[in-house]
Amino acid sequence: MKRYIKNILMLSFAVLCLAGCEKFFTQYPTNSVTKNNFYQTDDDFNQAVRGCYARLKSNMSFHLTALAYRGDECIQTAMTTSNQNQYYLDRFEENPSCAIMSDIWNSWYSGIYRCNDVLNQIEGKEITNAAKYKAEALFLRSWFYFTLYRCFGVVPLTTVVVTPEEAVLVPRCTKEQMLQRLEEDLNFCIENLPKTRNEEVARVTTIAAQALLGKVYLTFGMYPEAEQVLADAMEDPEYGLMPTTADVFDVKNKMNKEIIFALYYNKTNDHGHSFWWDSTSESTDRTNPTQNLRDLYDKDADNRLSLIRDWIQLEKSEVYTEDRYVLKKWYDNYDQVYIEQVGNDFPHLRYADVVLMMAEALAMQDRIAEAHTYMNMTRQRAGLISLDLTNISDKDAFIKELANERGREFALEGQRWFDLVRLGLAINHFKNLVVDYKGRIIKYDNISEKNLVFPIPNDQIEIVNNPQILWQNPGF
């Protein structure tokens, strides 16, 4: 029974004490660690919160590649044994047994466990930075829950660590409960997170909570509320747009003023990663990123196109002895000591997102002229002409152009699919999408309403075995 409980919701204390806390418990030399002797000092809680951050990286490939296939940024041209799950995701043929679904469900609930454990343990403790640690844990838990919601719809929601017996009784929440939880927690974060970064530059500040709450409000159709919190975010003098989008991804200027919340990697201390987009050929005749993505750009004017079109040759080394090229957006050279590692960060929220979310909030309130002002901020730095009501005055037309602008600005950043769903464009867009792959026509007209969320992993359905508690999404 315990072997199966391990997978259920990833909320159980008995199992997740190992699966969720192993990294920040290993500071002890023996196996005698318990929660009672761990959570004692300010540094103990600091280490625990770091463990919550660490869980963000456990499934970053979902944001980097799986969502690119789900959207129109990449395509799987044929199914093989190694890529069948991504193929199904790409073609809207996913099913409840898809390993990708189980992986993200388990990873993010493991992250929620870590956050809940910190939050439960910090109550009543006289810790110097208690409010800050609580706010960080609440922000990260909100990120996990919101991402689960965008993937699966309503999900089991708990704010406390539960036993194995309790875990199987945690039901899927309502939309209202999810919104209330996210809104309350993120407002606490806004009040209690630090305003500015410290030496640990990847830890969140106030603007991260404001930006995430803005995206929550947009997702739930609360446009005046989104406008207000995003306006508050833009008053922060510590953050703003970089001169170009390329500057945002310059590895010599990591965590710059545009980066609000990112997965931070440091190749110089053995905490880097392998190349994300690399190839042994510099051929321009490439399948991915797709031609459909490249066609969103003005090839003669948009300075962002080169980020997802051009490939940079790496210096050869004792490890990389053959020609090797990296996509410009994710370019970094290998470390001189840890010679198989690079250190690109992966941004989840950046200032350009705040700006374009403001455009969305205003447009959804039929304030198209004001919305143009914000969309033009990213257009202008990309080298494009400004637009106004003489170009686009219709709300629907503006929303479509906003989706295109977000596609250009956030290419390969895990945003495109969620944008199309949130803006109400996904079904129409893919039903009309035709890909010509070397003369073979690929269509996506099988997409339907059910595909706007993913299926609940089948192993979770079977373990709970109670459709009143955990039911499958319609159509799967």
Q: What is the rounded distance in angstroms from the CA atom of residue 138 to the CA atom of residue 212? A: 12
Quote the pLDDT of residue 38: 83
Residue whose structure tokens are 């190839």: 279
Q: Would you state the structure tokens that stand for residue 64, as one six-digit string?
A: 């980097």
Quote the pLDDT of residue 437: 85
Quote the pLDDT of residue 41: 94
Q: Would you state the structure tokens that stand for residue 193, as one six-digit string?
A: 């997170």
Q: Which amino acid is at 363?
A: A
| Residues 378 and 409 sit within 8 Å (Cβ to Cβ) | yes
Which residues in the chain show pLDDT less than 70?
1-37, 283-285
Q: What is the rounded distance in angstroms from the CA atom of residue 67 to the CA atom of residue 370? A: 31
Alpha carbon 313 to its chain centroid, in Å, reads 28
383 sits in the region (left: phi over 0; alpha: psi -120 to 50; else beta) called: left
In this prediction the pTM is: 0.92
Quote the pLDDT of residue 34: 52
Q: Would you state the structure tokens that stand for residue 277, as one six-digit string?
A: 């987009």
**Helices then strands (H, E): number in the chain?**
23, 7
Between the alpha carbon of residue 170 and those of residues 159, 163, 181, 341, the distances in Å are: 11, 11, 15, 41
Q: What DSSP assignment string belongs to 301-323?
A: T-TTHHHHH-EEEPPP-SS--S-
The answer to whether the peptide bond before residue 289 is cis (omega within 30 degrees of 0) is yes
What is the tens place of the pLDDT at every residue in 7-49? Answer: 334 333 333 343 333 322 222 233 334 566 689 999 999 999 9
Alpha carbon 151 to its chain centroid, in Å, reads 11
Query: SS3 helix, strand, coil % of the chain, rounded to 5?
Result: 50, 5, 45
Q: Which residues pair with 346 in a beta bridge?
A: 263
Output the CA torsion sign for 203, 329, 273, 146. positive
